[in-house]
Structure 1
Amino acid sequence: MNVPAASPGGLHTSRAMRRTTAVVALTMVLIGLLLLYMLMQATNNRELYERNYAVLFYVNMAVATLLLLAIAWVAYRLVGRLRQGKFGSRLLVKLAAIFALVGIVPGLLIYVVSYQFVSRSIETWFDVKVEGALDAGLSLGRVTLETLTNDLNAKVRASGAQWPEAAQNGGGAEIERVAEQLGATSVALWTGSGQLLASTGQTRIQLIPDKPSPAQFRAARADRSHAWVEGFDDAAPTEASTARIRVLVPLASDSLDLTPDTRYLLVTRTLPANLVANALAVESANREYQERALAREGLKRMYIGTLTLSLFLAVFGAILLAVLLGNQIVRPLLVLAEGVNQVAAGDLTPKLAMQGRDELGGLTRAFATMTAQLSGARQEVERSMAQVDAARAHLQTILDNLTAGVMVLSADGAVRSFNPSAERILQVPLARYLGQAIDAVPGLEDFGVGVQRQFSEFAQRAHVQGTDHWQQPFELGGSQAPMHSPFDRALTLVARGAELPEHERLLVFDDISEIVSAQRAQAWGEVARRLAHEIKNPLTPIQLSAERLEMKLAGKLAPAEQAVLNKSVKTIVDQVDAMKRLVNEFRDYARLPAAELKPVDLNALIHDVLHLYEAQSTSAAIALDLDAQCPEVMGDAQQLRQVIHNLLQNAQDASETAAEAGRPRAAVTVRTQWQPTSQRVRLSVMDHGTGFSDAILKRAFEPYVTTKTKGTGLGLAVVKKIADEHGSRVDITNRMQDGKVVGAQVSLSLPAHDSAA
């Protein structure tokens, strides 16, 4: 899984800032280290120190100032981050403070100790005792040299006074004797004009002997001797000593006056090497001491400046290290914090990851990998949820368009959800009763109790029989239904139940009333066909036999017996005619042909049918209320004529029954009405009878259901069958007025010709 390292812009900016900071810090550290080295070299080299003191001092102060400014800038940045409330700023400040304390506290301690040590050490260097010791050493050296010089001077003068006259022009043996006697390095005999007459020792082997100067000759002539020490100015304490004492003495002559031709004896004795070295060391130490004493304050400032610069370097290094290490620690934490905030906000886009090999970098990579996995998982979940939603929508669409009713019940029978067909079949607004038990819904008490009983029995036998559902038929709205039943007809439902997860229950039910009615009608039709066949065959022989008996016995019987015979024959013939009519009705119901739908003028058809009722004087009158705007309807004229005839006969019979019961006689009304919205023509036949009971209303269109004593109960069944053939809806209701039943109304809705086309 790929994990992004960082955004290009932020990464380049961060790298550039880090590189710039590192370069500046490294440059300043190198400059500081170079200055420290130069300061150490300067303090060990007096000439270099004196020559570059001003430059070193000002450069030192400049670097210290830059370091101080850098530290102040870092502190300002840290305080700014802290005020802005950036994540990790407190940790960075703590790290900087810790590292700064680690660098400052020991540095200050060392600085204070070193400052005191340097100050006291420099002061002790120039102590009075040290200066007195150096002065004493110098005095001791001078006294020693004077003593040696005076001693040699006295001995040379004595030797010069005893110098033989004969040897004044070059006595080699005498020179050797004097050199041996005085322990001299060399002895030379010079004239006053500077001519060498004789010599021994080192002077003999020199190509150009060291000749005394005219001033030295004059001093020797004036003071009768002249001694001096030479070689100390050019010698160094570490070099081999060449210092020596030289004494120039004029030799005695017969003439008391010293003339330019006077002979001079020059005796040279080399000083001991340790004596010369000690004298030179004391002299060098004294000279350096005096020089250092003159530059005491400058030296102290230089050492203190070196210490201060070292302290600043240590502090700056500590703070710089704190910032760098803090950034290394905080940057992964910042990346993690930003990523966590984004994840908390629901943003699972790829997150930044550090490429370092440490644990924090690994943690950012692990977090980025985890976020990527979460993003993939969420995408998969969203994909699955989309599939589930699509499946749910698909299932909901299927449920909404199912003709079967579907309900989801809780374990205690409460309604959780349902589809539109459930409301349509049960004819109850189930939305009002969501969350309530199904047996608490008005009109569904028995149905709910039966469903709950089936689920309970199913739960008991499911483990034994291994079935996954139950199925049971239910009768709703029949003759046994309560008065407040919502059903306008008897319903026959076949219900199936199954258990769902989370203790829910699925109830599916279908309205098979039409199927049962059709099956019942088909069965009755088959029965009617067979009855018509079986009954009609013997009726004709019975009628013919009765009529033949009447003909054969006519005039042969007494009047009384003849009257009985005539009455009996008439009764047989009448009953046979009634049976024929009944058989014909059975035949018509069983053999009702398929409708041939054609455009029919319903108003004209009603007028044609009413011609058959014009001659009837005993029946109830018929009033017409026909809508002139009614268009032609699609129907079978013969079957529609039969429908009108059956409805009119039933209406007249109901009105006559009400009149016999003492109610006012009223006309039967035939009404047509055009309904533009539904594109249908509504045919209604209204009577002023006693109406129907609820039980009859719910089963009025079933065969052989009637309230008339002489009826067969097939009239409305035939109407229902013809309406079904025409794709129409037929309904029957009681007409109410002031809360009382004032008659019944049967309505048939037929499609208009244009809408049917």
Structure 2
Amino acid sequence: MRWAIGVGAALVTAIGLVLMFLLAQATNNRALYERNYARLFGINVVVAVLLMLVIGWVAFRLIQRLRQGKFGSRLLIKLAAIFALVGVVPGVLIYVVSYQFVSRSIESWFDVKVEGALDAGLNLGRATLDSLTQDLSNKARAAGAQLENVPDASAGLTLERLREQMGASDVVLWTGGGQLIAGTGTARFQLSPARPTAQQLRQARSERVVAHIEGLDESETAQVGTGPPAASVRALALVRRPGFDLGSDTRFLQITVPLPPAVVANALAVQEANREYQERALARGGLLRMYIGTLTLSLFLAVFGAVLLAVLFGNQLARPLLVLADGVRQVAGGDLRPTAVLPGKDELGGLTRSFAMMTQQLADARGAVEKTVGELDAARANLQTILDNLTSGVIVLDEAGTIISTNPGATRVLRAPLAAYEEQKLSEVPGLEAFGQSVHQQFAEFEVEHAQHGLDHWQHAFELHPGGGGGGADDTVNIVARGAGLPGRARLLVFDDISEIVSAQRAQAWGEVARRLAHEIKNPLTPIQLSAERLEHKLSGKLAGVEQALLAKSVKTIVDQVDAMKRLVNEFRDYARLPAAELKPVDLNGLVADVLHLYDNESGHAVKVSAELDPRCKPIRGDAQQLRQVIHNLLQNAQDATEAAAVAHPQVPPSPVLVRTRLSDSGERARLTVQDGGAGFAENILKRAFEPYVTTKSKGTGLGLAVVKKIADEHGARIELSNRVQDGAVVGAQVSLSFAVAPERPAVLIPPSEENTVA
């Protein structure tokens, strides 16, 4: 920067010396002055612009630093102002005095009267030409009025008459688009006469007539001895259409009249004399501008030198302080990049080096902190991802039981939008009031136990009713919760939904009960039945008619009830001791068709059974014996439900039970669906329909669907139970089982006819 400033200052000084030398030579050599005037003027302008740009750039930098509040800006401005005043004030004084002296001296060298006479002659010539132009404009306007009613076809004769009357060289009639209609004079011998410009047409349309002089500007190019050039006055007038003829195009009349040669010669003579005088007077203006330019350049050089010295000296003093101030501002803004270090050996240079070392140490410390924070953020993100994907519910509470944060698992398990109740107490969440109070009580007891015995957590099982069902089995959720303390007296609550586990344990318990009941009840049933039959056999024929009838009725009642008990015991036995399934390829359609033979029209059932079997169904992996039992159970339940609905609504004929098979689009699973026309299931029954002893029939045991569910689990099949809704009303229920298709390999299908039929 110093080298560039030095070279620039030397270059400007050299240019100034050259200009002053040329000025001194020009005062004694007029020819040299006139020959180099343009160059001197251009160099002056370039030097002046460069100096103004440099000074403006320096001033802008100083003002910008001051607005940015940089340290040392005021000191730099003060030094620059002092040095600038020292150089500017004397220079301006000398400049004003010299300017007055030079301007008045040179102005007195020329005669003012001659210049006034030439100006008067020029004005007289302009007035004469303006008079001729105005006269032709008036004539053109009148001629345009004569052509208003003249059609285009006969306009030639009228134009020739007008040309003779006005003494014009040519008269031309144009359309509004600049197309020639007719012309006389010299225009007839031209292939493409000069047409008026679009601007002239617009001006004539707005002002009705426009006129101008042509040919006087060609005097400069005319050769000596050829006489004055042919100048003329050309007028363009608007020709209106008569009446309301709005559809016709506008026409324009162009008249060209040559100027008198004497007038042209006099005008050119006055113009030539004025030009020669101005050329002579050019030396006066140029000399005046040269002197003033040189003085102005000298003033700029003085101001530039003063400001430059002020900036250089002030920068040397303030630069270390500015470096420190910038470094402090960067550190305050969080920017710990290394700062500049000055190479000086003085105290200020050492201070900048110490500050740079301190900044580097701060940057290293912040890097270590940012690395630690990044690791913490990554760990926090991993923990949040784990919490979001946990099936267990997690709730963080404060000491008062207010919800701080939750995970999606908590919303799923508790069936409540817990995220919407953050910053509220858990006991205030609708449906979880009792749960929240119990959890708060468990934490209170845990704190006492933790203080006395050092326990680190508590665990408790809860039975919730988040749907507000008041304890019904349809909305019961069994959970096991575990609580622990967190730093800051926060509390961690983790819980899992164990409803399925409880349901499985309940099913296992029912199976054990069924096995024991079957064992305990079956043994005495046969002796009871045999004793009743033997008693009837011994007393038959030995009693009177009334007693004989009573005996027969009583024995029949005993035998019937024993048979009912045997069927009940058999159902218990089937549920408790269902054999393991032997999965083999089975033709599902054939199995269904074989079972449906027992439900044909001659079987005596009140409700008919229809089938829709998909011929694309592939063999499935299953146990044919157990699948027959599944189909029988489903069909019997469907017929019972449809028959019960028919009894409740005798006016509506019962719809048949529908058995349907379908192959999935992927071809990997086959679905078996049984639909009835009954009243459907209540919501609480739908949720527990596959549990033992849950039934809607007055004489049912509730083991039919439980056996179906157990067999489906053995086959790895998905089972679904739902109500069929039509137009918002329940029109029945359906049970669907989805079986996996058997692998495509050579296998012997088990014909349904070879399996034992279950009645």
Instruction: From 649, 653, 675, give the equivalent of 1:662.
Output: 649
2:536 corresponds in structure 1 to 550
2:637 corresponds in structure 1 to 650
Range with greater deviation from structure 2 (469-478 or 319-328): 319-328
Instruction: From 591, 595, 598, give the equivalent of 2:581.
Output: 595
Give the TM-score of the pair, scaled to structure 1: 0.54
Give the root-mean-square deviation of aligned CA atoms. 4.7
1:375 aligns with 2:363: yes
- Structure 2 residue matching 1:736: 3-state secondary structure: strand
Q: Aligned partners of 2:475 and 2:673: how far apart in 1? A: 19
Q: Aligned partners of 1:649 and 1:680: how far apart in 2? A: 25
- Structure 2 residue matching 1:747: 3-state secondary structure: strand
- Structure 1 residue matching 2:655: 3-state secondary structure: coil
* Identity among equivalent pairs (%): 59
Structure 1 residues 511 and 628, CA gap change in structure 2 (3 angstroms): farther
Structure 1 residues 97 and 590, CA gap change in structure 2 (3 angstroms): same
Q: Aligned partners of 2:510 and 2:345: how far apart in 1? A: 93
2:441 corresponds in structure 1 to 457
Q: Aligned partners of 1:678 and 1:450: how far apart in 2? A: 50
Instruction: From 318, 324, 341, give the equivalent of 1:336.
Output: 324
Q: Aligned partners of 1:719 and 1:380: how far apart in 2? A: 65
Structure 1 residues 331 and 424, CA gap change in structure 2 (3 angstroms): same
5 Å matches for 1:351-370?
351-354=339-342, 360-361=348-349, 363-370=351-358
Deviation at 1:704, TM superposition (A): 0.8
Q: Aligned partners of 1:671 and 1:629: how far apart in 2? A: 13
- Structure 2 residue matching 1:748: 3-state secondary structure: strand
- After superposition, what is the alpha-carbon deviation per residue over 1:262-300, rounded to whole angstroms, capped at 9, x for unaligned? xxxxxxxxxxxxxxxxxxxxxxxxxxxxxxxxxxxxxxx
5 Å matches for 1:28-43?
none
1:746 aligns with 2:746: no
1:481 corresponds in structure 2 to 469
Structure 1 residues 739 and 94, CA gap change in structure 2 (3 angstroms): closer
* CA contact 2:427–2:434 (8 Å) conserved in 1: no
What amino acid maps onto 2:685 in structure 1? I
5 Å matches for 1:718-733?
718-733=707-722
Q: Aligned partners of 1:735 and 1:402: how far apart in 2? A: 35
- Structure 1 residue matching 2:678: 3-state secondary structure: coil
1:445 corresponds in structure 2 to 430
Deviation at 1:521, TM superposition (A): 1.0
Deviation at 1:378, TM superposition (A): 3.5
Q: Aligned partners of 2:335 and 2:467: how far apart in 1? A: 65
* CA contact 2:413–2:497 (8 Å) conserved in 1: yes
Instruction: From 75, 93, 103, give the equivalent of 2:76.
Output: 93
Deviation at 1:522, TM superposition (A): 0.9
- After superposition, what is the alpha-carbon deviation per residue over 1:158-182, rounded to whole angstroms, capped at 9, x for unaligned? xxxxxxxxxxxxxxxxxxxxxxxxx
Structure 1 residues 726 and 376, CA gap change in structure 2 (3 angstroms): farther
Deviation at 1:657, TM superposition (A): 1.5
Structure 1 residues 424 and 685, CA gap change in structure 2 (3 angstroms): farther
* CA contact 1:332–1:361 (8 Å) conserved in 2: yes
- After superposition, what is the alpha-carbon deviation per residue over 1:559-598, rounded to whole angstroms, capped at 9, x for unaligned? 4333333322222222222112111111111112333333
1:635 corresponds in structure 2 to 622
- Structure 1 residue matching 2:65: 3-state secondary structure: coil
Deviation at 1:438, TM superposition (A): 8.4
Q: Aligned partners of 1:741 and 1:707: how far apart in 2? A: 16
5 Å matches for 1:290-439?
326-327=314-315, 329-339=317-327, 347-354=335-342, 360-361=348-349, 363-408=351-396, 413=402, 416-419=405-408, 421-426=409-414, 433=420, 435=422
Structure 1 residues 77 and 686, CA gap change in structure 2 (3 angstroms): closer
What amino acid maps onto 1:396 in structure 2? Q
* CA contact 1:666–1:688 (8 Å) conserved in 2: yes
Deviation at 1:499, TM superposition (A): 5.5
2:209 corresponds in structure 1 to none
Q: Aligned partners of 2:404 and 2:741: how far apart in 1? A: 41
Instruction: From 673, 687, 690, give the equivalent of 1:698.
Output: 687
Structure 1 residues 475 and 461, CA gap change in structure 2 (3 angstroms): closer
What amino acid maps onto 2:448 in structure 1? V
Q: Aligned partners of 2:492 and 2:77: how far apart in 1? A: 65
Rg comparison, structure with higher value: 1
What amino acid maps onto 1:404 in structure 2? S
Instruction: From 613, 622, 625, give the equivalent of 2:609.
Output: 622
Q: Aligned partners of 2:646 and 2:378: how far apart in 1? A: 65
What amino acid maps onto 1:598 in structure 2? K
- Structure 2 residue matching 1:445: 3-state secondary structure: coil
* CA contact 1:415–1:438 (8 Å) conserved in 2: no
* CA contact 1:413–1:438 (8 Å) conserved in 2: yes
1:685 aligns with 2:674: yes
Q: Aligned partners of 2:466 and 2:570: how far apart in 1? A: 30
* CA contact 1:78–1:92 (8 Å) conserved in 2: no
What amino acid maps onto 1:368 in structure 2? A
Deviation at 1:643, TM superposition (A): 1.8
Structure 1 residues 396 and 75, CA gap change in structure 2 (3 angstroms): closer
What amino acid maps onto 1:611 in structure 2? H
Q: Aligned partners of 2:571 and 2:501: how far apart in 1? A: 23
Structure 1 residues 734 and 97, CA gap change in structure 2 (3 angstroms): closer
* CA contact 2:443–2:483 (8 Å) conserved in 1: no
Structure 1 residues 675 and 341, CA gap change in structure 2 (3 angstroms): farther
Q: Aligned partners of 1:380 and 1:608: how far apart in 2? A: 78
- After superposition, what is the alpha-carbon deviation per residue over 1:674-713, rounded to whole angstroms, capped at 9, x for unaligned? 3326954333222222222222222222111112121111
* CA contact 1:478–1:698 (8 Å) conserved in 2: no
Instruction: From 517, 522, 531, give the equivalent of 1:536.
Output: 522
* CA contact 1:492–1:512 (8 Å) conserved in 2: yes
* CA contact 1:407–1:506 (8 Å) conserved in 2: yes
Q: Aligned partners of 1:449 and 1:592: how far apart in 2? A: 43
What amino acid maps onto 2:500 in structure 1? E
1:717 corresponds in structure 2 to 706
**Runs (5+) with no aligned partner, structure 2:** 11-53, 88-305, 746-759
- Structure 2 residue matching 1:618: 3-state secondary structure: coil
What amino acid maps onto 1:93 in structure 2? L
Q: Aligned partners of 1:329 and 1:575: how far apart in 2? A: 121
Deviation at 1:523, TM superposition (A): 0.9
Structure 1 residues 349 and 458, CA gap change in structure 2 (3 angstroms): farther
- Structure 2 residue matching 1:85: 3-state secondary structure: helix
* CA contact 2:645–2:677 (8 Å) conserved in 1: yes
- Structure 1 residue matching 2:603: 3-state secondary structure: coil
What amino acid maps onto 1:460 in structure 2? A
Q: Aligned partners of 1:755 and 1:480: how far apart in 2? A: 51
* CA contact 1:489–1:699 (8 Å) conserved in 2: no
- Structure 2 residue matching 1:520: 3-state secondary structure: helix
What amino acid maps onto 1:350 in structure 2? P
2:166 corresponds in structure 1 to none
* CA contact 1:471–1:494 (8 Å) conserved in 2: yes
Deviation at 1:721, TM superposition (A): 1.9
Structure 1 residues 376 and 646, CA gap change in structure 2 (3 angstroms): farther
Q: Aligned partners of 2:547 and 2:412: how far apart in 1? A: 68
Q: Aligned partners of 2:73 and 2:466: how far apart in 1? A: 83
Structure 1 residues 426 and 333, CA gap change in structure 2 (3 angstroms): same
What amino acid maps onto 1:714 in structure 2? L
- After superposition, what is the alpha-carbon deviation per residue over 1:84-134, rounded to whole angstroms, capped at 9, x for unaligned? 638456244267479979x99xxxxxxxxxxxxxxxxxxxxxxxxxxxxxx
What amino acid maps onto 2:440 in structure 1? S
Q: Aligned partners of 1:78 and 1:661: how far apart in 2? A: 104
